[in-house]
Amino acid sequence: MSDLRRYPETAKPGSLSSDVTVVGGLAFVTSIPTDSNGQLAGETIEQQSVAVIENMRTDLERCGSNLNRIAHLTIYLTDIENQRAGFNEIYRTYFEETLPVRCAVGVARLARPGMHVELTAVAAV
């Protein structure tokens, strides 16, 4: 695909993939709650929710998009029953007017020990 663009600079330290790929005017993004050193950002769902959304915002802006252009968002939570409310509290501060289609999925574990949330999204560029 000649219009496929990867953004390797968005990959977190130690990652095995780019966090953003753009093809056909769409950005495919995955974000995890890490700080600028690649370390897990915080221990609570609220702290990690801020970090994961901020990371997604940064990655989308690098490829010419933004949070308001997200068409579909998938939220992975390790304890959906107890973490969903905390995630939603933070989510509402970022997504007030332009709400993407979204789904939340409860998972047993994520890639890093202590990681509570991961996001994937499709956004218009």
Q: What whole-number distance in Å separates Cα of residue 32 and Cα of residue 19?
A: 9
Instruction: Determine the Cα angle at 74 with ends 122 and 101, to 5°.
Output: 70
Class of domain 5-124: alpha beta
- pLDDT classification of 16: cutoffs 50, 70, 90: very low
Length of the chain: 125
Per-residue pLDDT, averaged over 9-15, amounts to 52
- pLDDT classification of 17: cutoffs 50, 70, 90: low
Domain spans, the chain: 5-124
**Encoded tokens for 42:** 């915080």
